């Protein structure tokens, strides 16, 4: 079987996907021109130097800088609706059928929008994209590590009002150094009480203790979790708690959570019985697609086609959308994959 064709052809599920890291360069250029956002260059093609990380990116802190320009143009309702809708289109082209898109509403209030305005705008773009491109899934609202805890508590309260409108989870992201998850424990207690599912970025730039804290705060899924490998007690905790690790190999190499892709623990974790899934993290910043990530996981990390397919199904099983939808998709995924194998 041609692995490239297989990975492109199978229906896919993606759980760890940042909206502001997945904006089309052309859209950044056009919206900046429309809204007066200063650009570092005067043509769209040259913008990639400011939007895309590389293997030379030194750390998570540097990786985050590539989000600054997209965030600057995502300050109006039309811009937020547009980038969300376009991401849905890009997902469909990648044959992603189930997706959870995450973003930090506090980053988009710089020009007068309220948190409610921001959440409604993204849900509007998601609703149109979901309908037009046949997607399922939902939106994850992300709190920021370097924000005062009170602001993240307020965000949880607002996000909880949209539980029945497409907001399905609550997250914590940003530079891990000096910002342990436990500082925001109250926000996550509120989020859980309002019916939001909990996922937290942990074990990316900070070590295994970050993972331990995130699990203690009720996270059923962790963004990345790579550095859990540094502590076997934490690995045992992940397995015993049945916590899922949503990993993004290219991004993990660019942020230096791993030194190089070949050293990524994805396959080792899978073989240890840990629930793992594969995502892009940020399609523009990491210059990737989910099919690309699957191919790298096979070619560079050593995962078999069957292992990657199992991780894809795990993404459906661990998704935050309703169980009926995910069960239906699992049946559709299995039928489509079987047909693809028969035709190869």
Length of the chain: 344
Spatial contact of 145 and 172, defined as CB atoms under 8 Å apart: yes
Which of 175, 183, 184 lies closest to 202, judged by CA?
Answer: 175
Alpha helix positions (H), the chain: 3-9, 25-35, 48-51, 60-65, 68-73, 77-93, 115-133, 149-160, 185-193, 208-216, 232-241, 249-254, 266-271, 290-299, 305-317, 323-343
Count of CB atoms within 10 A of residue 194's CB?
A: 17
C-beta of residue 181 within 8 angstroms of C-beta of residue 152: no
The answer to whether 228 and 235 have CB atoms below 8 angstroms apart is: yes
Q: Which two tokens stand for residue 278?
A: 């594969």
Cβ–Cβ < 8 Å for 338, 7: no
Tell me how far apart the alpha carbons of residues 244 and 222 are, in angstroms, rounded to a whole number: 6
Tell me the C-alpha distance between 328 and 119, whole Å. Answer: 28
Query: Which one is catalytic: 100, 204, 293, 295?
Result: 204
Query: How far apart, in whole angstroms, are the C-alpha atoms of residue 65 and residue 48?
Result: 13
Rounded CA separation 158/154 (Å): 6
Q: Could you confirm whether 204 is annotated as catalytic?
A: yes
- Active site residues per annotation: 204
């Amino acid at each position: 079987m041609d692995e490239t064709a297989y990975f492109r052809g199978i229906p896919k599920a993606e759980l760890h996907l940042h909206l502001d890291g997945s904006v089309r360069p052309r859209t950044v250029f056009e919206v900046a021109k429309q809204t007066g956002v200063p650009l570092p260059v005067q043509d769209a093609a040259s913008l990639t130097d400011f939007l895309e990380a590389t293997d030379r990116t030194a750390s998570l802190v540097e990786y985050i800088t590539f989000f600054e320009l997209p965030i600057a143009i995502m300050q109006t309702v039309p811009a937020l609706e547009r980038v969300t809708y376009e991401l849905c289109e890009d997902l469909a082209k990648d044959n992603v059928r189930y997706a959870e898109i995450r973003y930090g509403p506090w980053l988009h209030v710089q020009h007068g929008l309220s948190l409610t305005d921001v959440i409604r705008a993204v849900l509007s773009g998601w609703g149109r994209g979901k309908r037009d491109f046949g997607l399922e899934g939902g939106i994850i609202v992300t709190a920021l590590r370097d924000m005062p805890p009170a602001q993240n508590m307020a965000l949880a309260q607002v996000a909880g009002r949209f539980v029945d409108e497409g907001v399905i989870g609550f997250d914590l992201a940003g530079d891990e150094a000096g910002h342990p998850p436990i500082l925001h424990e109250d926000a996550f207690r509120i989020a859980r009480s309002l019916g939001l599912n909990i996922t937290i970025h942990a074990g990316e730039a900070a070590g295994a203790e970050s993972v331990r804290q995130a699990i203690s705060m009720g996270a059923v899924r962790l963004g990345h979790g790579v550095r859990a490998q540094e502590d076997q007690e934490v690995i045992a905790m992940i397995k015993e708690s049945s916590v899922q690790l949503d990993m993004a190999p290219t991004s993990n190499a660019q942020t230096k959570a791993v030194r190089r892709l070949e050293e990524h623990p994805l396959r080792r974790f899978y073989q240890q019985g840990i629930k793992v899934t594969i995502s892009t993290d940020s399609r523009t910043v990491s210059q990737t697609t989910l099919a690309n990530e699957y191919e790298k996981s096979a070619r560079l990390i050593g995962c078999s086609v069957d292992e990657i397919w199992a991780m894809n199904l795990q993404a459906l099983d661990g998704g935050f959308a309703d169980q009926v939808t995910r069960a239906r998709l699992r049946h559709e995924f299995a039928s489509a994959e079987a047909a693809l194998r028969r035709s190869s």
